Amino acid sequence: MKHLLRLLPFSLIALLAGCGVENLSALDPRGPVAEMQLNLIQLSLYVMIFVIVVVFSIYTFVLIKFRERPGDTHIPKQVHGNRALEFIWTTIPILLLLILAVPNIMDTFTLAETPSMSATEADGEEGEGQEGMVEGEDFITVQATAHQFWWEFEYPNLDINAGQDLYIPTDRRVEIVLEASDVVHSFWVPALGGKMDNVPGITNEMWLEAPEEGIYFGKCTELCGASHWLMDFKVVAVDGDTFDVWAANMAEPDEAVVSGEAAGEAAVEGREVFESNCISCHAVGDEGSPTGPNFTNFGERQVVAGFLEPTDENLHDWIRDPQSLKPDNEMPAFSEDQISDDEMDALIDYITELKVLEED
């Protein structure tokens, strides 16, 4: 029984190794950047396993061959100053370090060269190849700005501002320009690539690529305040044609959707509530403020506030008392004196119908 109990922790480790969320693991890469980084991890692991096997093999051999034997009092042959041995145990570590260093350096330069840098070199002048990236170009640029505690995604060449959900095409590379509005944050999409910091006053750049359609989970990996652990986002990879439709509709959304007319009378009333209470912080299309997340495609979001299921009840609770759900965020609370229950229902009807892609 005692031996079985000793095996219990290892059994739990093996069991938990099979748990996880799809598209949220660096060990299950879904893009070229993550694949390169996993290859480096595996290479390092193989080298370390090789070293461990060799060291323990020599150690075991020495223990057995040169163990103390009854009646044996002779002094073993001394190898101090043996040039052959010194050459071997100096050369082998150097070779192992080269095996690790060369791929690391090559991949570091590959990952550091963003698509815009490549385009500039190819065209021979600064900024060439940056226009018209909806059609015909092999990359898009997204400025990812971190706030406490949400993400803003601006597509400068497409005249788009989005919040929380980062839409990308599967047929183009995505250049991410990282900035922060307040404190240090860190951008990480485990299944697509490694992390990089968002630092106030400093611009960092990286690139990602998602060849397969899907929803990839992103995290902030730098302690940035009380709700750091709730600062998640989604990367939504869609085919190139769908992305072009999304981009065009985000830049110029349907006026019937913006006004609420497409969703009925309740949504029209909700639009009025939105204009009275929300438009000073949130925008729909080109109307409103960029202070908070853009609501143009709010109805397509997978989660609310980065972590809540998009149900009417959760939306109601979030608008009434956001601090109880996500401490220290900058969203103000709205009491019944400011937004009545009927107005709240109409507002929720309106924002949940804000969509720019047709449902299947």
Instruction: Say which CATH number the domain at 196 has.
Output: 2.60.40.420
CA distance 224 to 146: 10
Please indicate, yes or no, if residue 356 is contained in any of the structural domains: no
Q: What percent of the chain has pLDDT over 90?
A: 71
Q: Which two tokens stand for residue 226?
A: 């009380």
Q: Which two tokens stand for residue 78?
A: 């001394």
43 plus 192 within the same structural domain? yes
Is residue 7 very low, low, confident or very high in pLDDT (cuts 50, 70, 90)?
Answer: low
228 plus 109 within the same structural domain? yes
Give the residue-averaged pLDDT of 68-97: 85
60 plus 163 within the same structural domain? yes
In the listed set 234, 252, 270, which residue is the last one of a domain according to the structure? 252
pLDDT of 15 over the 80 cut: no
Is residue 200 very low, low, confident or very high in pLDDT (cuts 50, 70, 90)?
Answer: very high
Q: Which two tokens stand for residue 105?
A: 């350096």
Domain that holds residue 216: 23-66+82-122+132-252
Q: What is the pLDDT of residues 204-257, one digit of tens each?
A: 999 999 999 999 999 999 999 999 999 999 999 999 999 999 999 999 999 999
Number of domains in the chain: 2
What amino acid is encoded at 49 in this protein? I
Residues contacting residue 248 through CB under 8 Å, at least 6 positions apart:
134
Is residue 6 very low, low, confident or very high in pLDDT (cuts 50, 70, 90)?
Answer: low
CA distance 143 to 188: 14
264 plus 341 within the same structural domain? yes
pLDDT of 131 over the 60 cut: no
CA distance 44 to 87: 23
Is residue 133 very low, low, confident or very high in pLDDT (cuts 50, 70, 90)?
Answer: very low
Is residue 319 very low, low, confident or very high in pLDDT (cuts 50, 70, 90)?
Answer: very high
276 plus 245 within the same structural domain? no
201 plus 289 within the same structural domain? no
In the listed set 224, 252, 280, which residue is the last one of a domain according to the structure? 252
38 plus 183 within the same structural domain? yes
Predicted confidence at residue 5, as pLDDT, reads 56
Give the residue-averaged pLDDT of 139-164: 95
Residue that has been written with the tokens 């070779």 in this structure: 95
pLDDT of 22 over the 80 cut: no
Predicted confidence at residue 129, as pLDDT, reads 43
In the listed set 227, 252, 277, which residue is the last one of a domain according to the structure? 252
How does the average pLDDT of the chain come out, rounded? 88
Residues contacting residue 137 through CB under 8 Å, at least 6 positions apart:
129, 172
pLDDT of 85 over the 90 cut: no
pLDDT of 304 over the 60 cut: yes
